[in-house]
Amino acid sequence: MPQSLEAVLAEVRDLLLDPALTRAVAAGRRRGVTPSVQRAELRPVELKTGRKLQIVTNDGSRPYTRNVSGGEAAAAVDALLAEPFGNWHVETATSTVQVRVTKKGDAQVHRSGASTAAAAPAQHDRAKQWLLDPGDPLFTVIGGNAAKRRQVDAFLRALAATLPEELPSPLRVVDLGCGNAYLTFAAYRYLADRVADVRVVGVDVREDQRVRNTAVAEELGCADAVRFVAGTIEDARVDEAPDLVLALHACDTATDQALARAVRWNARWVLAAPCCHHDIAAQLKGRAAPAPYAEVTRNAILRERFADVLTDSLRSSLLRLNGYKVDVVEFVDSQHTPRNLLLRARRTGAAPTDDQRSEYETLTAQWGVTPALEKLLA
C-alpha cells in the first residue's frame, strides 16, 4: 500500500544514521526528474580516527568517496535524501527496508528481517574476506575480475602483516616501477582507512603511464594525495623520503635499484616482489659450480631456478647487513604466477653481526658472483 514519501524518507534517514546500519544504496530516478548522481552507496567504516559513514557517489563518469561523522554525516544524508532517487535499499543489523517511489510520488515500502550478510558486523565480514571491499570504486575504474581481486587482497595482506598498528601521519609511500599502478591505488585505498594523511608517489619510466595513472587518480578523486612522475627508479625526483617503499615485479636489476634507493632513504618498510633474475643467472653461466653442486647448474632450467633463489637470498642478506629485518614469503599463490616471492623488510637499524658478514662473503665467493645490489650499495 502506498505511503507518504516524506514519512518514509524520515524513517530512512533514521536508519542511515543508526549505528546498526550495514549498507544502503540509492539509485534510479523519479518520473520527470533526475538526481545529480546516478548512484550513492553508504556503509559504516572503522578508521583510525573512529567510526565514520562512508559515502560513495557516482555521477556516471567517476566515483567520489568521503568519510563523515556527526553533523557532517547528518548533512550529507539530508542532501542525498533530497535527491530525486527512485529507489532506496537500506540494510541494518536487524532489518532491511526497500523503498520505491511511484509515478504519483508516493512510496511503496517492503520491510523484512536482516539478511544473513546484513546481520553480520560490516567490519568483521570485510576483515574476514577482503581487506579492500570488492565493491570499492577502484575496481570499477581498473576492472575487477576475480584474479585481480585475489592479487590485490594478497598484496594488502602482506602489507598489513608488514606494518605496525600505529603508523605515522603523514605516511609517505613511493612505488618504484609502478606500471599501471593498480596495486599503488589499492595500497592508497587501504592505507587511507588507517591513516588520516597518506601521500603516495608512483614512479615509472614511461610518460604515457604517468599520464594514464594521473587520469585514474583524478577519476578516483585522490589526485591530491596520489601523484605520478616519469623517470628511472634511480633518478626519478621524489621530494620527500618515503616511510614505505614498494617495488612490485620490477624486472631484473630494477628490483636491486629499488632496494638500493630504499636503503639510501632509510625507509622504514620495504615490500619488493622480484621478477626476471637475469643478472646472477648470467654470472653463473659458463662458470664451474663449487663442489659438489655441479649438477645444480649443469642444466639451463635448473641453473635459472637456482639463480632465482640465490639472487633473492643475497638480496635478503644485503638488506640485513644494512639494518633491516627481512622475511621472504609467498606473494600470491603459485597457480596465478610463478613470480610469487615477496621480500618484506622492516628497518631496525641493528648493526650487522660478524656471522652475517661472513655468511654473505662466503656465499658470494663460493659461487663467484657479485650481486647488482652490492654494487649499488657500495
Residues 209-214 have a mean pLDDT of 95
pLDDT reading at 334 higher than 70 = no
More confident residue, 219 or 375: 375
Instruction: Judge whether 57 and 37 are in contact, CB under 8 Å.
Output: yes
Q: How much of the chain is helix, strand and coil, in % rounded to 5?
A: 40, 25, 35
Instruction: Answer yes or no: do 138 and 229 share one domain.
Output: yes
Instruction: Judge whether 110 and 98 are in contact, CB under 8 Å.
Output: yes
The pLDDT of residue 332 is: 61
User: Which domain CATH number covers 220?
Assistant: 3.40.50.150
The pLDDT of residue 351 is: 96
Instruction: Answer yes or no: do 331 and 254 share one domain.
Output: yes
The pLDDT of residue 153 is: 87
The pLDDT of residue 129 is: 62
The pLDDT of residue 103 is: 84
Instruction: Answer yes or no: do 101 and 135 share one domain.
Output: no
Examine the fold and report which residue of 97, 123, 149 is the final residue of a domain before the chain moves on. Answer: 123
* Per-residue confidence band for 338, with pLDDT thresholds at 50, 70 and 90: low
Residues 336-359 have a mean pLDDT of 87
Percent of the chain beyond pLDDT 90? 57
Instruction: Answer yes or no: do 352 and 310 share one domain.
Output: yes
The pLDDT of residue 1 is: 63
pLDDT reading at 123 higher than 60 = no
The pLDDT of residue 377 is: 96
pLDDT digits (tens, 9 = 90+) for 278-333: 899 999 987 889 999 999 999 999 999 999 999 999 999 999 999 999 999 887 65
pLDDT reading at 336 higher than 90 = no
The pLDDT of residue 352 is: 95
pLDDT reading at 136 higher than 70 = yes
Query: How far is 74 from 44, CA to CA, in rounded Å?
Result: 13
The pLDDT of residue 120 is: 42
pLDDT reading at 357 higher than 60 = yes
**Chain mean pLDDT for the chain:** 88
Query: How far is 318 from 313, CA to CA, in rounded Å?
Result: 9
Instruction: Answer yes or no: do 181 and 227 share one domain.
Output: yes
Residues 210-228 have a mean pLDDT of 91
| CA 130 and chain centroid, separation | 11
pLDDT reading at 125 higher than 90 = no
Instruction: Answer yes or no: do 197 and 343 share one domain.
Output: yes
Q: What is the tally of structural domains in the chain?
A: 2
Instruction: Answer yes or no: do 134 and 86 share one domain.
Output: no
* Per-residue confidence band for 273, with pLDDT thresholds at 50, 70 and 90: very high
Query: How far is 58 from 83, CA to CA, in rounded Å?
Result: 13
25: containing domain: 5-123
Instruction: Answer yes or no: do 177 and 115 share one domain.
Output: no
pLDDT reading at 50 higher than 90 = no
Examine the fold and report which residue of 107, 123, 139 is the final residue of a domain before the chain moves on. Answer: 123
Query: How far is 102 from 353, CA to CA, in rounded Å?
Result: 76
The pLDDT of residue 69 is: 92
Query: How far is 349 from 189, CA to CA, in rounded Å?
Result: 29
pLDDT reading at 363 higher than 90 = yes
Instruction: Answer yes or no: do 235 and 107 share one domain.
Output: no
pLDDT digits (tens, 9 = 90+) for 71-111: 999 999 999 999 999 889 999 988 889 898 888 888 888 88
pLDDT reading at 116 higher than 50 = no
pLDDT reading at 210 higher than 60 = yes
Instruction: Answer yes or no: do 90 and 173 share one domain.
Output: no
Instruction: Answer yes or no: do 145 and 258 share one domain.
Output: yes
pLDDT reading at 355 higher than 80 = yes
Instruction: Answer yes or no: do 119 and 130 share one domain.
Output: no
Instruction: Judge whether 220 and 185 are in contact, CB under 8 Å.
Output: yes
Helices (H), 111-145: 116-119, 122-129, 137-142
Examine the fold and report which residue of 123, 147, 165 is the final residue of a domain before the chain moves on. Answer: 123
pTM of the model as a whole: 0.67
DSSP state of 103: T
User: Measured at the alpha carbon of residue 281, what is the angle toward residues 336 and 289, in degrees to the nearest 5?
Assistant: 125
Query: How far is 202 from 238, CA to CA, in rounded Å?
Result: 9
pLDDT reading at 141 higher than 80 = no
Residues 137-158 have a mean pLDDT of 80
The pLDDT of residue 61 is: 65
